[in-house]
């Protein structure tokens, strides 16, 4: 009796391999986009700093931190540059500028928080600086307000941070499901194909919306 299960298993394994390859490709594309955004903002910050437009430079270094991705060297470079700006401002007696620079490091990493918080070493260093700078500092509406004493994130919505990750993983997973159904049915036909297509679109929209809320 001929065993027909082998071709079926081979076909299923091919579908899984292709789906996994697509998922890896999507993750790589996302990483490249984040890397490029961080690089451009970091370079813009460096150019503005050379023109002595310090406040604008801080803004772009802060943006570079928000484009956080693992193994992205521009995040570390931007944090170091903000730290240097803060230290130079301290030496010059400009506490307000120093606070802005240090606060940008802290807010940048907290802004990139999802399920985990990146740059914890930087946050600890900044919190220590903010405490020392705030001692004896008169209350001023122009002075940035921080949560340095509590050690808490200035971004209160941990819910949306979790939704960012859930939406992204749901989008990737639903795309894999859609690809597998498409290969098996040779097209998006039937209830399963429509379900995975709709679910993928829903997760993608959820991911985009949650990134603006987190």
Identify the CA nearest to 96 among candidates 47, 140, 154.
140
The sign of the dihedral angle between the CA atoms of 208, 209, 210, 214 is: positive
Q: Per the structure block, which two tokens stand in for 29?
A: 């594309």
Q: What are phi and psi of 3, to 5 degrees?
A: -90, 115
Same-domain pairing of 96 and 167: no
**pLDDT at residue 178, rounded to an integer:** 74
Position of tokens 């297509």?
197
Same-domain pairing of 126 and 79: yes
Same-domain pairing of 149 and 167: no
What's 93's DSSP letter?
Answer: T
Confidence check: pLDDT of 192 > 50: yes
Same-domain pairing of 186 and 207: yes
Distance CA(60)–CA(38), nearest Å, equals: 9
Q: Per the structure block, which two tokens stand in for 139?
A: 């209350």
Task: Tell me the H-state helices in the chain.
Answer: 5-50, 54-66, 73-91, 95-111, 120-134, 158-185, 190-213
Distance CA(57)–CA(48), nearest Å, equals: 5
Q: What is the pLDDT of residues 108-164, one digit of tens each?
A: 888 777 667 788 899 999 998 988 887 755 444 444 444 444 445 544 455 666 676
Position of tokens 């194909």?
193
What's 117's DSSP letter?
Answer: -
Same-domain pairing of 87 and 182: no
Distance CA(67)–CA(20), nearest Å, equals: 25
Query: Worst-scoring range by mean pLDDT, 11-25, 72-86, 197-211?
Result: 11-25
- The pLDDT of 21-45, averaged and rounded, is 85
Same-domain pairing of 205 and 142: no
pLDDT band at 54 (very low <50, low <70, confident <90, very high): very high
Cα separation values, 69 from 5, 46, 113, Å: 43, 20, 11
Residues 44-64 as b/e (b if ≥16 CB within 10 A, e otherwise) read bbbebbeeeebeebbbbbbbb
**pLDDT at residue 140, rounded to an integer:** 45
Distance CA(154)–CA(58), nearest Å, equals: 18
- The pLDDT of 20-40, averaged and rounded, is 82
Q: Which domain holds residue 149?
A: 5-155
Same-domain pairing of 121 and 53: yes
Same-domain pairing of 74 and 171: no
**pLDDT at residue 115, rounded to an integer:** 60
* Tally of domains in the chain: 2
Same-domain pairing of 79 and 138: yes
Same-domain pairing of 146 and 186: no
Same-domain pairing of 144 and 189: no
**pLDDT at residue 187, rounded to an integer:** 54
Supply the mean pLDDT for the chain. 77
């Amino acid at each position: 009796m001929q065993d027909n299960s082998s071709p079926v298993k081979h076909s299923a394994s091919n579908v899984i391999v292709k789906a996994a390859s697509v998922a890896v490709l999507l993750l790589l594309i996302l990483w490249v986009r984040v890397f490029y955004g961080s690089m451009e903002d970091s370079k813009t910050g460096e150019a503005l700093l050379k023109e002595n437009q310090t406040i604008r430079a801080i803004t772009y270094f802060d943006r570079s931190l928000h484009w956080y991705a693992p193994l992205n060297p521009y995040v570390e470079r931007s944090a170091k540059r903000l730290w240097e700006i803060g230290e130079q401002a301290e030496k010059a007696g400009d506490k307000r500028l120093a606070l802005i620079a240090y606060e940008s490091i802290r807010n940048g990493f907290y802004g990139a928080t999802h399920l985990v918080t990146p740059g914890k070493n930087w946050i600890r260093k900044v919190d220590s600086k903010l405490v020392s700078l705030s001692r004896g500092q008169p209350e001023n509406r122009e002075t940035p307000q921080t949560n340095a004493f509590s050690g808490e994130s200035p971004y209160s919505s941990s819910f949306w941070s979790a939704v960012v990750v859930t939406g992204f993983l749901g989008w990737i997973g639903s795309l894999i499901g859609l690809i597998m159904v498409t290969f098996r049915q040779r097209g998006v036909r039937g209830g399963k194909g429509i379900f995975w297509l709709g679910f993928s679109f829903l997760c993608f929209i959820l991911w985009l919306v949650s990134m603006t809320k987190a």
